[in-house]
Amino acid sequence: MDIVSNREMLIEARKNKYAVPAFNIHNLETMKGVIEAAYELRSPLMIATTPGTVKYAGLEFLVAMARAAAKKYDIPIALHLDHCTDVELLKQCIQAGYKSVMIDASIKSYEENISITREVVKYSHRYEVSVEAELGLVGGQEDDRDIDEKDTTLTDPHIALDFIQRTNVDSLAVAIGTAHGVYKSEPKLDFERLSKINSMVSIPLVLHGASGVPHESVIKAVENGISKVNIATELKIPFAEAIKEYFKENPSANDPRYYLTPAKDMVKKIAMEKIRVCGSANRY
């Protein structure tokens, strides 16, 4: 099996009221952790990479690792470009083998967002690549993108419908009160707004900034229309803490095969927990 588009897996998730987890990875160990979790729990999987991760790890290496995983494990695996604002980089990722991309023009004016998204959709669909866009403005820091809380904008249901009709986008990230990064207090999600958007549109909806959101809130978001849940910070912090703990117990250690293994295992543990919360276990 090769890496696949997320289009069918998200349509299936929306139909059956569960969500596909999209885990932001940064290296071989974080990728292996989420893949092993998804394989053991028989869950569809999205491996998400930000433009920063593409720059760090290398486009060809990321595609090769994802393809190796798709060939080895008999579950659907989508390689996804997350929060991309650079259309040329997005096209490079598609040419390299990505089957799922997110164009994030949410900081632009509404008409500019539509124009840029429409261009990306037209290009991507020629290669059978699915496109996610964002409407509204999710706050917090994601890669090099940092939106102050006071500048966040929640998604308007009526505008969401117009946006989808004019762009033909495959999935839509909505702003309903979440934020990227670490929360200072428990986020308050606007489930009424989410439910109304879901009732008006016919494509899968995406929840960004899910790290740190209580499990019951994620479950309720899925019940109200979320078909994809993004997880990043809740993998990074435990990964780093596991390495710190290993060196605390083994101060003279120097073999990355040993100090990276508990970090990878921690990512796997968290990923399994998130898969169960999303309801995507035992779907394949």
Is 273 annotated for ligand binding?
A: no
Is 195 annotated for ligand binding?
A: no
Is 215 annotated for ligand binding?
A: no
Is 83 annotated for ligand binding?
A: yes
Cα–Cα nearest to 173, from 4, 61, 6: 6
Burial of 150 (0-12, 13-18, 19+ CB in 10 A): exposed
**Separation in Å, CA 130 to CA 5, 164, 256:** 6, 14, 36
Is 223 annotated for ligand binding?
A: no
Is 158 annotated for ligand binding?
A: no
- All residues at 6 or more sequence positions from 213 whose CB lies less than 8 Å from its CB, including other chains: 178, 183, 187, 189, 207, 221
* Sheet hosting strand 139-142, strand order edge to edge: 145-147, 139-142, 179-180
Is 115 annotated for ligand binding?
A: no
Selecting among 2, 74, 82, 156, the annotated active-site residue is: 82
Is 233 annotated for ligand binding?
A: yes
Is 208 annotated for ligand binding?
A: yes
Is 231 annotated for ligand binding?
A: yes
Is 168 annotated for ligand binding?
A: no
> Is there a catalytic annotation at residue 82?
yes
Can you tell me the distance from the alpha carbon of 183 to that of 64, in angstroms, rounded to the nearest whole number? 34
Is 210 annotated for ligand binding?
A: yes
Is 130 annotated for ligand binding?
A: no
> Which residues are part of a known binding site for dihydroxyacetone phosphate?
181, 209-211, 230-233
Which residues does the annotation place in the binding site for Zn(2+)? Answer: 83, 104, 134, 180, 208
Q: Which residues are annotated as a binding site?
A: 83, 104, 134, 180-181, 208-211, 230-233
The set of catalytic residues is 82
